[in-house]
Amino acid sequence: MKITLQETTSSAIADQLVHLRDEGGAVALGRVFTLLVAAEADAVEDAIEAANAASREHPCRVIVIASEGPRSDPERTEDGLDAEIRVGRDAGASEIIVLRPRGGAAEQLDTLVMPLLLPDAPIVAWWPTTAPAVPSSDQLGRMAQRRITDVLGCEDPLGHLRELAENHAAGDTDLAWARATLWRGLLAAALDDVDVEDLTSITVTGRADHPSVVLLAAWLYGALGVPVTIADAPQAPALVGVTLSGGAGDLVLDRPVDTTILRITEPSGIHHRVSLPLRTRSDSLIEDLRRLDPDTVYEDVLTRGLPAFLDSQD
């Protein structure tokens, strides 16, 4: 069900939510946090789709603040707020509030969303496209315990990743890190059977401009202390392989571009096959919402491992 409110206020939206709860069509019981989504006008529906999928594992109230795009009615030049409430089939396991502020109404976003927050519940802020250089200083970011960015949605992903490294605060994370979670788990398991001190070099294969590829390379460089290089594979969607070379031979993890099967080849020549599909944005968002405490491993890789790795490439 979708309810559209024109020329409204945050208080009127809150009243409508209470009315829906009283009518039995929607309830706030079981919602574990509020997810604030700051989306560009043309990215709103994609963001809602990902939030819907995530809400099935993490029931929450989703508040989407749509940046002002082209006006559907050029005559409407005044400040104001339009909104839409989605519940039931249109909202997954959550309730979704889409706010479309115009003019001055978009200047105080914290005040705009305050009446709509779930009481006594954590707040998570997510920027599915372009994010502020300092998320913790943003109006929405200051309200949130966790702040999730996605540099893959920016025009210059690696440049923005460097900005986030310089301005990191506890509670910040990026979906580029979550996209590499399965790879990190498989590598950690594979390294249990490898003499780390015997390693001489590591090659990470994938798109050299993909932030997940760069973060994984930085993680390996910082954790193992051996030279790491990225072998560019422009045709790859992201990460497609890691080779750990040592005196005893190579440990190779390889996922061909056209498959979802990872092949692991040990130095002894033994082969393993593991299912490893490419993670979607929804998968990555679900991953990040599983924890609301600061991700200290990500912080270390972003603020220490990444700069050190990039310096080693010069």
Indicate the helix (H) or strand (E) that contains 113: helix 109-113
- 179-275 fold: Glutaredoxin (3.40.30)
Comma-separated ranges of CATH 3.40.30 domains in the chain: 179-275
C-alpha 138/C-alpha 188 separation (Å) is 35
Q: How many Å apart are CA 7 and CA 182, to the nearest integer?
A: 46
Eight-state DSSP code of residue 93 = T
Residues constituting the chain:
314
For residue 100, pLDDT over 80 is answered with yes
Mean pLDDT across the stretch 104-125?
92
At residue 91 the predicted structure's pLDDT band, cuts being 50, 70 and 90, is: low
Q: 74 pLDDT exceeds 60?
A: no
pLDDT at 186: 93
| Confidence check: pLDDT of 72 > 50 | no
Whether the predicted pLDDT of 36 surpasses 60: yes
What local confidence, expressed as pLDDT, does residue 214 receive? 97
The Cα–Cα gap between 44 and 40 comes to 6
Residues of the chain with CATH 3.40.50: 2-174
Please write the tens of the pLDDT for every residue from 246-278.
988 999 999 988 889 999 998 888 899 999 988
Of 83-92, 211-220, 235-244, the one with minimum mean pLDDT is: 83-92
Could you tell me which CATH number the domain at 2-174 has?
3.40.50
Tell me how crowded residue 36 is: count the other CB atoms within 10 A of its CB: 26
Structure tokens at 144: 């949130």
pTM to 2 decimal places: 0.91
Residue 88 phi, psi dihedral angles, 5° rounding: 70, -135
CA distance 277 to 127: 24
Write out pLDDT tens, residues 155-174: 899 999 999 999 999 999 99
Task: Answer whether residue 68 shows pLDDT above 90.
Answer: no
Quick check: 13 pLDDT over 90? Answer: yes
Q: Above 90 in pLDDT, residue 220?
A: yes
| DSSP, residue by residue, 216-270 | HHHHHHHHH-S-EEEEE-TTSSSEEEEEEEETTEEEEEE--TT-SEEEEE-TTS-
Q: Mean pLDDT of all residues in the chain? A: 90
